Copies of this chain bind each other. A is one copy, B any other.
Amino acid sequence: METSLILQSISKYIHLTPEEGAYFITLLQTKQLKRKEFLLEDGEICKYSAFITSGCMKGFTVDHNGFEHVMNFAPPGWWIADMYSLISQKPGNLNIEANEPTDILLLSKANQEKLYIQVPKFERFFRIITENSLVAYQQRLMDNLSLAAEERYNNFCKRYPSLINALPKKDIASYIGVTPEFFSRMQAKILRSPAK
């Protein structure tokens, strides 16, 4: 099991003794996903938080016209789950899919609760990463309420430079909230005008 990335990412926020680290690892299971393979589908109950060790995943919903809306991307070092469904244990409407061959570590809801009891420090860890995630969603919502598509695209480029060339353009279009057609036109326009 490839655990160095996850332990390193935890150590940014809390200090674990070797025993605590070892115990944490026993609560995880590995999984490999093929390109286009789903970890979770609309209507299912989310039972795991997933930590990406390699590859990339995306979370998206499908609206009543059949259009996808990308909620988030998860490159290596990030967590992904349907938080609504994970917390409530009710069916959610998120799909989680591998964009390419991807290795993940799974922490089940039951094991997460166990972890909180055995090593309460993890409350702190998950509090902090949840806070960071909350701030990112607030920022993105603000962008959607107050900026034009082109500015949202600029922000995306600034915030996630490594993802721009790694993802299909249609997914980036969906993430920033425009159609692939409009996104294509926007890029052409940006290229045409002198780089700013």
Contacts and interface: CB of A to CB of B under 8 A. Distances in A.
Tallying the copies of this chain within the complex gives 2
| Main SS at interface, chain A | helix
Interface string A152-196: 000000000000000000000000010000000000000000000
Given A83-B134, A87-B132, 5 more contacts: A63-B147, A69-B146, A83-B135, A123-B124, A137-B138
Given A127-B130, A130-B127, A131-B130, A144 B146 contact: no
Interface residue range, chain A = 20 to 34
Interface in A106-147: 116, 120, 123-124, 126-127, 130-135, 137-142, 144-147
A27 interface: no
B142 A141 contact: no
A23 interface: no
Interface string A35-66: 00000000000000000000000000101000
13 contacts: A61-B142, A69-B146, A83-B135, A84-B135, A87-B135, A120-B124, A126-B127, A127-B130, A137-B138, A140-B141, A141-B141, A144-B145, A145-B177
Contact of A116 (B67, B124, B130): B124
Q: Give the residue among A71, A138, A177 with the most B Cβ atoms within 10 A.
A: A138
A133 B177 CA distance: 22
B137 A127 contact: no
B71 A141 contact: yes
Nearest to A127: B127
Q: Give the residue among A84, A87, A127, A177 with the most B Cβ atoms within 10 A.
A: A127
Contacts of A142: 61, 69, 71
A88 to B, nearest CB: 8
B145 A84 contact: no
* Smallest CB-CB A-B distances: 3 pairs: A127-B127, A123-B123, A63-B146
